[in-house]
Structure 1
């Protein structure tokens, strides 16, 4: 595949040592004058949960051929970027890498200080969880099991996630042999049967680990092709054999694009379709195990404009859209990658070095070593949007040139990420809220502007009106309105039904003894069962009261209750809540 060449370890021999150019303190580039403004409406439904941000959500790859992989400044750079997962030992090299000797098959290059223990020191210093790719191509189940033994029994590192091989469908079975595979058969059936052996050997050492199997990306090559050694394509064959035994599946996402504008459509165009297909396959083959099988995107990047502003917009959109659709980890390819300094182009006023790295490798044509590229800053903006454990909720944009993502923080704040994909025009954004009452105070706004070298912050605009500069990423952090009480309303819905939950917090100056929470459904929801509350319903109007076990709510305390219901035309959220007659804030 055309993008794989830059990911081979031989491309990184040009990595050169140089001084770190710190991201902090650099001058922010001014956005170019906008010729016009596009009007966009964004609707935020703070009650419509999509997923919880996982601690492993934002990840990156590192490779044993990178001499700068474990430098002392790397943990700080990864931590500042918000990286919570680091994949090792690096793409295709994993299928020729022997961890015990820290060598590649046939003497390929392995950089000093990239052995497993040194890597683990860097990952732990960064606060990131490792994902280990064991050697399928030239290794054995016993070698993998020994790695688990060393990592989790001998050293007590607690490495949770392990994947069997890299891109095994690239082993020549379908005609493109970029992935080393010394098995006598390269069929999907052979891979899957061997995965069962890896699982058996590795979990015999540590039953608590999670093991993943490689799938082709639905809709990408070679999805849908039946190899000569199989009766079905790769995904159907692999999952029919290992579906009930694996803990997660692995896909990679390198969308091909015809233009900058086309690249920026890919998160919304590709990811819901891919995850829908993968979930359908899991459901088909994993049986009772289906609900517990996760999705890991262990490699992702653009195939063009990698070191320029389009990728600075693509990166956060890519990460967050995958997480909203249920992936538990997305690993960028990669931290450092390198370039041969040929074929350099200019994109939106900046040089594209054809380097897949988040950070400069310090090659002769590049900025100094570890200078962040735009994808780094775009990814760092996710730290302004939310943190592990926060809830991603639904946001809808009226214009495809502006992506919107929303997170409800544990403290009740609602943060909105706005990505303006128009390279020439600012966006005037009107924001509306359901299930949340914003404060009237001006919010804190973080911005990453086109061709900038840092993230800026200011108090700007309002919770309902923001200007997003051309080709920029903005995160608006919004506090809830002050009130004597606060309500967080959540729902998980399906056609004709839903489960709802309500958390009521007492913000008053004293204890509440006996509570009655009133509200009106916005649609035709009918409550059919409830828990932790007594409920009376008259049409859309609800009064939920305390039970004998939750009469009192201390100052600053909360009470939780829930319900199951039905609906036909609409299950729209309540827009107001009243506690003993007093209005509550929402969110």
Structure 2
């Protein structure tokens, strides 16, 4: 959705001779303790997708189709371009290139867009008009694109942010349907999918979802059977191939929320989309740090962007698309020694404030997020696989990928404004070649990424407000090793055990003698068992805990395979016992909810009880509680009976309630203990 529209019709263009000079920063590492970065090549995450690095084009941008723009996007490593532009998608009619009620710049039609896509070597993603269009119009677009023109457009979204049509009280998205409910949207997604795939059955269809903990996620509208996501997935799940998220976190410290965000979306898909739902991918088709006060187009926002891109891709999102290429000047501030124009674009639009007092750099001048995304594209290339990396310094984030050719790359992000950090890098499952590695660096105010041979594989120095990528070769080739085991699967998951199975790994020069199963604990792998077969029952697991595991094969000479793809599963709670607990949400307003807790005693009579549980994340807290005495200490919540409800005879149930607050993805607590005993969770 456009956050500040490009003033395409009335923009005043100004060419500046030079960019701002980088601000001076302290570069003394004498007082900075070395930062320990751990890289674990045996803890595999998602592969780097072909379409991972993307951005949005918009039909109000008169520079959408220029070769200069296309060449800059190609240099940034863009692999996917989205069209026709946010909320304009729901007013745009492709056949006559009109958007009633909106401005359409010249030379922005579909053919011009596709010419740029081909020049870049990217893939397109097209958003079909749901708000004011029809399934027949969308099917005709597919026919024109893929049958008549032979463009082979694979990805097609149905609408943009259609939950913003007023159904939940706020309206910004055009929607001519009398019924604006998620059920109506889902019914049309089915119709669109049927009509469009009748033209080209090879295309993939995406449906709009709300992003966990972002309005209106979790709200239930009048007359609805559930939240937007629940209803859309239940009705249209069998007709879609991917789901669409948009995320404008509005702050620079939200990356830690991404794993839970994607976990919740996958859980919703599994619960509501029906059989075969594991095929459904996740696309982040609009993303921007969205923090004009902390740096929209200056270095802090760029660092947050690189961190988010890498984290989203490592968690299996198949494309992350920046909002957008050109956007226009907004709120002008000074951030870390540089002018921040409040511009959500990657490239300067050359526009000025309404009074002409401040103008952006020359048209197409790259802003800092451009270089951040360019750095991610050079660090993580299609065919690589993300692996676990971690830092022991809050100001330094670390990511890593294993190259298909056996090499490895580490991306480190120093968010400190004034401290250069010496970094000591430790590797598990990888031995780097001796000598200085290739190091890519982008610093505050720089107008490009520098490449040098510097430092060592185990020691680097990170300038303040910088991105640093270290590109490594393996110490020596190891031919004849086993291949990676196949994708593991979990079955018979209980509160304390899980059976993990996998397809056999291809043998190398020597026979495979065993498989080892490792749990990811941060950037450290903990072995939970080994076997000479292709199945292992893991024991001594903790109830209600999310586990991510990898499998490796070991041959008769001690040679080790690459790790399997990751498997994530969550243990349950006891199937029987002396107590059970049921937590239900009574109402949810996307930043808090009313929860009801039913405690049932299945054992001997209880006189006086204490219920305890933990919030899964640091961004959850207790607002208030009733029918018991509620207290919170850190993430631990303790609930003690009131004088009048301390007696629980066998078979009796006590009902208590609370208000829970959250400022990130709301993973509900699932493990409750009553007087020290873990209860069944119903």
State the Cα RMSD in Å: 3.0
1:65 to 60, 67, 74: 60
State the distance in 2 between where 1:38 and 1:501 align: 45
Alpha carbons of 1:572 and 1:360: their partners in 2 closer, same or farther (altered >3 Å)? closer
Alpha carbons of 1:232 and 1:335: their partners in 2 closer, same or farther (altered >3 Å)? same
Matches within 5 A, 1:536-551: none
- Asked if 2 retains the 8 angstrom alpha-carbon contact of 1:38 and 1:425, the reply is no
- 1 or 2 for the larger relative contact order (CA 8 Å, sep ≥6)? 1
Alpha carbons of 1:524 and 1:200: their partners in 2 closer, same or farther (altered >3 Å)? closer
1:289 aligns with 2:279: no
Which residue does the alignment assign to 1:527? 531
Alpha carbons of 1:140 and 1:53: their partners in 2 closer, same or farther (altered >3 Å)? same
Give the secondary-structure state (helix, strand or coil) at the position aligned to 2:451.
Answer: strand
Alpha carbons of 1:361 and 1:225: their partners in 2 closer, same or farther (altered >3 Å)? same
Matches within 5 A, 1:355-434: 355-364=343-352, 365-434=359-428
TM-score by length of 2: 0.72
Structure 1 gaps of 5+ residues are 258-262, 506-513, 530-562
Structure 2 gaps of 5+ residues are 353-358, 491-497, 517-525, 542-547, 564-682
Which segment is superposed worse, 514-523 or 427-436? 514-523
Give the secondary-structure state (helix, strand or coil) at the position aligned to 2:275.
Answer: helix
Give the secondary-structure state (helix, strand or coil) at the position aligned to 1:123.
Answer: helix
Q: Once the 2 structures are TM-superposed, how far is the Cα of residue 75 of structure 1 from its aligned partner?
A: 2.0
1:320 to 288, 310, 313: 310
- Asked if 1 retains the 8 angstrom alpha-carbon contact of 2:206 and 2:242, the reply is yes
Give 1 or 2: higher helix fraction.
1
Which residue does the alignment assign to 2:579? none
Larger Rg: 2
Alpha carbons of 1:125 and 1:169: their partners in 2 closer, same or farther (altered >3 Å)? same
Residue by residue over 1:492-541, the C-alpha shift from the partner in whole angstroms, topping out at 9 and shown as x without a partner, is 66766464876787xxxxxxxx6467899684632242xxxxxxxxxxxx
Alpha carbons of 1:109 and 1:412: their partners in 2 closer, same or farther (altered >3 Å)? same
Q: Once the 2 structures are TM-superposed, how far is the Cα of residue 198 of structure 1 from its aligned partner?
A: 0.7
State the distance in 2 between where 1:250 and 1:458 align: 39
Matches within 5 A, 1:135-534: 135-257=129-251, 263=252, 265-268=253-256, 270-304=257-291, 305-339=295-329, 343-364=331-352, 365-483=359-477, 485=479, 487=481, 490=484, 497=500, 499=502, 515=510, 523=527, 525-529=529-533
State the distance in 2 between where 1:96 and 1:240 align: 27
State the distance in 1 between where 2:513 and 2:462 align: 38
State the distance in 2 between where 1:376 and 1:176 align: 32
Q: Once the 2 structures are TM-superposed, how far is the Cα of residue 399 of structure 1 from its aligned partner?
A: 2.4
1:6 aligns with 2:15: no
Give the secondary-structure state (helix, strand or coil) at the position aligned to 1:44.
Answer: strand
Q: Once the 2 structures are TM-superposed, how far is the Cα of residue 409 of structure 1 from its aligned partner?
A: 0.8
Give the secondary-structure state (helix, strand or coil) at the position aligned to 2:67.
Answer: coil
Which residue does the alignment assign to 1:90? 85
TM-score by length of 1: 0.83
Q: Once the 2 structures are TM-superposed, how far is the Cα of residue 43 of structure 1 from its aligned partner?
A: 1.6
Residue by residue over 1:35-87, the C-alpha shift from the partner in whole angstroms, topping out at 9 and shown as x without a partner, is 54243222211122211111111000000000011111122111110100000
State the distance in 2 between where 1:200 and 1:42 align: 50
State the distance in 1 between where 2:347 and 2:317 align: 24
Alpha carbons of 1:484 and 1:272: their partners in 2 closer, same or farther (altered >3 Å)? closer
State the distance in 2 between where 1:481 and 1:488 align: 18
State the distance in 2 between where 1:566 and 1:461 align: 44
Give the secondary-structure state (helix, strand or coil) at the position aligned to 1:97.
Answer: coil
- Asked if 1 retains the 8 angstrom alpha-carbon contact of 2:89 and 2:160, the reply is yes
- Asked if 1 retains the 8 angstrom alpha-carbon contact of 2:499 and 2:538, the reply is yes
State the distance in 1 between where 2:370 and 2:250 align: 20
State the distance in 2 between where 1:578 and 1:291 align: 32
Alpha carbons of 1:15 and 1:49: their partners in 2 closer, same or farther (altered >3 Å)? farther
Alpha carbons of 1:134 and 1:528: their partners in 2 closer, same or farther (altered >3 Å)? same
State the distance in 2 between where 1:102 and 1:116 align: 8
State the distance in 1 between where 2:482 and 2:425 align: 19
Q: Once the 2 structures are TM-superposed, how far is the Cα of residue 95 of structure 1 from its aligned partner?
A: 0.6
Alpha carbons of 1:291 and 1:32: their partners in 2 closer, same or farther (altered >3 Å)? same
Alpha carbons of 1:572 and 1:280: their partners in 2 closer, same or farther (altered >3 Å)? closer
State the distance in 2 between where 1:322 and 1:170 align: 24
Q: Once the 2 structures are TM-superposed, how far is the Cα of residue 170 of structure 1 from its aligned partner?
A: 0.7
1:33 aligns with 2:26: yes
Alpha carbons of 1:38 and 1:490: their partners in 2 closer, same or farther (altered >3 Å)? farther
